[in-house]
Each structure stands twice: as structure tokens, then as C-alpha cells.
Amino acid sequence: MARKKNNYPLLEGLEITTLAAEGKAMGRWNEQVVFVPMTVPGDVVDVQIRQKRRRFMEGYVVNYVKRSPLRSEPFCAHFGVCGGCKWQNLPYEEQLRFKTEQVRDQLTRIGKIVLPEIRPCLASAETRYYRNKLEFTFADRRWLTFEEVASGADLEATPALGFHIPGMFDKVLDIDHCHLQGDPSNPIRLAIKKFCLDNGYTFHNAREHTGLMRNITIRTASTGEVMLIVVFGEGDMERIKALLDYLVAEFPVITSLFYVVNTKWNDSTGDLEHVLYHGKDHILEEMEGLHFKVGPKSFYQTNSKQAYELYKVARDFADLKEGDTLYDLYTGTGTIANFCARRCKKVVGVEYVAEAIEDAKVNSALNEIDNTVFYAGDMKNVLSDQFVAENGHPEVIILDPPRAGVDEPVLEVILRAAPDRIVYVSCNPATQARDLAILDADYEVVAVQPVDMFPHTHHVENVVKLVRRG
């Protein structure tokens, strides 16, 4: 028996009243929440519902009855199709205001703790071309927009080099110009695509698992250095060498050129050899006179300039003294640890990824910092009462966990270690709020500073300072 189709309603004249979590806008229809992407508060729209649940509905705009005065004109030709920069239609000041309110809502509603006045979200000095790393995907057939399909024109199935359509692993939108990363990102991507098309290179088909060209990653540094990683689906060394030689000759700005042969079904390359073809095996980032080596597998904040502002907030909140021992938990490649090391006696960094810890050690040596020590391993296994006893009582702990937040056993060890101050840097205020509720027994939140690392998106970083009660 065929599945019965749902007859979802068309809502006429729905007023969009606010922004919601995950970057969606919302209104209410007969007291039921309705989420509508690509709208802003003040819009009045006719909405075709495509998903209906007991507590909410979600749909898409079929007609604008009235456009909000808050609207901004999107600057990117791919807006609305590409999955990034979804808030281009919202003035930047409004984006910052909502991010501040998002932090306030999640800390109070989830954490249920007493808060000081939350500072306004710290704006990014650059709202375009701010990313230092982008990954692009090849596909043998580009994604056709709904407008193109509706036109009825006979459209040729041309290859693509761009971004995945949200939620579709095998659909790729061909990107003409991306406003996320500055030059030479766009020229390099377009040149690679043209060379491959001109020379008959096959593009990846994710369903059939065929095609030579799979991915490229472009990393740019504040020092002007550029890393390019080209991922191939086959070990055709003649074609690989031809493309890479072309790139070396055409783009002398590339200081580090790698290739990877990935014959797996998935796109992850962290477990594969990155072969250095030309130049250095790293690029250098600079921050306040410190230099950080970034290799092909290294993590570094993708908004370099705003990362500096974020780390300055964290360091100021830490209020380090000359004799302090600092624990930097979830240290990554030791950026915060090395950034703070010259203001205290000792820094102890802990990170799950062993390769990142090796990078952290290299970065300390590169900057002639000799008061850091780093440990690799699962945080809840490494951090223990014995670990604290062996490494010294921390006056300050900085937490910068992944989106999932801090494991409760780790929080329990922190509470027993009883540092004077805790600085919690989070990319997910919801899990941060959950963790703050546990720390609230012994610590008071005295400062909250949201930081915008990703303009034109709903994502927000948040830094919280806690001091020990009594």
C-alpha cells in the first residue's frame, strides 16, 4: 500500500516575530510555533508547511506579503542555496544583539544560575573574508537551483567544485565566488576547476564512488603563507603530478602544497598520509609576537583575528599572577597555553588528540617558552586527583571544550582541585550552561562575554569567568 501523503497547510500572512536557535526565524500561528528559514523579524509571509509536529511546524516562504525594514540585501550570489552565511539578510548589529540574547537565554533557562550583566557580543572586525580555512568538494554534476529547474530550460549536467548542499552528502553547489576567505582562495579554486575540465579530469561521484578529483582544502595565514591540500580519489600519479606542477608554476604564493590519495567511501583524511609535494610542511600563524606552526592536520581557530580577541578576553578573565599555575584543559595545539605562559609560573595543557599535543610542544619550543607541559589522552582519564597532586595545585583553570561540553567526572575533579578562578570558553552556550549549573555550588559567575567568531551565522562563542565562593 502506498504511503498516505500529508496535506500540509498554507499559512497566509504569518508575521515573523523573532529569531530562534540554530539560526531559524519564527512566528506563531494559533499559538503554535512556526519556524521559517531565510526570514527576519518583521517579515509578513505566506508559508507552505512541510513539517508538522505536536509543538511546532516548519515551512518555507512562497510569498512575501511585507518585507521587514530590518532586512539587509544579501551580498552573495549563492545566498539561500549555499548552507553558509544564512544571516546575510540581517544587519550585523541585529546579529550581535541576538547572539547576546541567545547567551542570556541559555545560561538562565538551562543553567538557572545568578548572572551578572552580560556584556554585548564582541563584534568581529571583519565580517567577510575572515576565514583562514575552507574545504571544497568536487562533484561530477552540479546542484541545480529550484529556479533553474522551474525554468524548464535544457540544462547541461556540468561538474562542480564547491560546497555540499545542507543535509545532502552527494549534492554539491558550484561556487563562483565565496565571500568567506580572501585571496588567493577564489583564484586557486577556479584555476583548479578549469585545469581539470580542460584536461579531462574526472570529478567525484559520491554514490558510485568514482572520479579522480575529490576535495581541496585551502589554508591562509595572517603571515601571508598559503597551504593547499588536494585530495584525489585515485593514485593516477601522472595526472596528479601534472595538476600539482601547474599549481606550483601558476601560484608561487602557495608556500605549502600537499596531496592525499583517498580511496575510502568517506571524505575524512585525518587517518591518511598527507604527502608534501612542494614547499614547507607547515604555515605559520602569528599572534601578539608568538608564532604557531599549522600543519595539514592541525587545528587552528578559523577566524585568526577574532581568535586573538577571544584569547585576550580569556587571558584577562584569568587574571594571571607571576606565581600562578594554570591548567589549560582541552588545549588543542596549545594556542591559549602558549598565549598565557609568559604571565604565570607554569602551564599544564591536556588534550585528547595526540598529534595536537605534539604541535603544542613544537609551538612552545618555537617561541622559546619553557614553562609549559602537555599531556595527551581522554580528559576524564587524564585529569584526576593524582594528576593534580603531581602537577601542582592550579590557581586558574581555563576550559575550552568541544560542543558537547565538559564530562561530569572532569567537573568533579575541578571542584576538588578548588582553583581560585575558572575561565570557561565555549562554542555552545547550551552545554556551557549545563556545566555552570554544576560548578555553581562552589563558584560564582562574575563576568560573561559573548564573542562573534562567525559573522552571518547563528554561532556564538561565550567566555565566562568564575571565582571561588567564600
Angle at 465 between CA 417 and CA 415, to 5 degrees: 20
* Greatest pairwise CA separation for the chain in angstroms: 75
Angle at 402 between CA 428 and CA 169, to 5 degrees: 90
**Hey, what's the cell of 407?**
564530562
List residues with catalytic annotation: 427
Among the listed residues 178, 176, 259, the one whose alpha carbon sits nearest the alpha carbon of residue 214: 259
Q: Which residues contact 68 (CB under 8 A, 6 or more apart)?
A: 16, 40, 41, 42, 43
Kindly report the number of other CB atoms within 10 A of residue 223's CB atom: 14
In terms of phi and psi (left: phi > 0; alpha: psi -120 to 50; beta: otherwise), the region of 30 is left
Q: Contact, 228 vs 254, CB < 8 A?
A: yes
What are the contacts of 1-7 at 24+ separation with CB within 8 A? 6/52
Q: What is the DSSP-derived secondary structure letter of residue 124?
A: P
Q: What is the DSSP-derived secondary structure letter of residue 22?
A: G
**Hey, what's the cell of 353?**
588528540
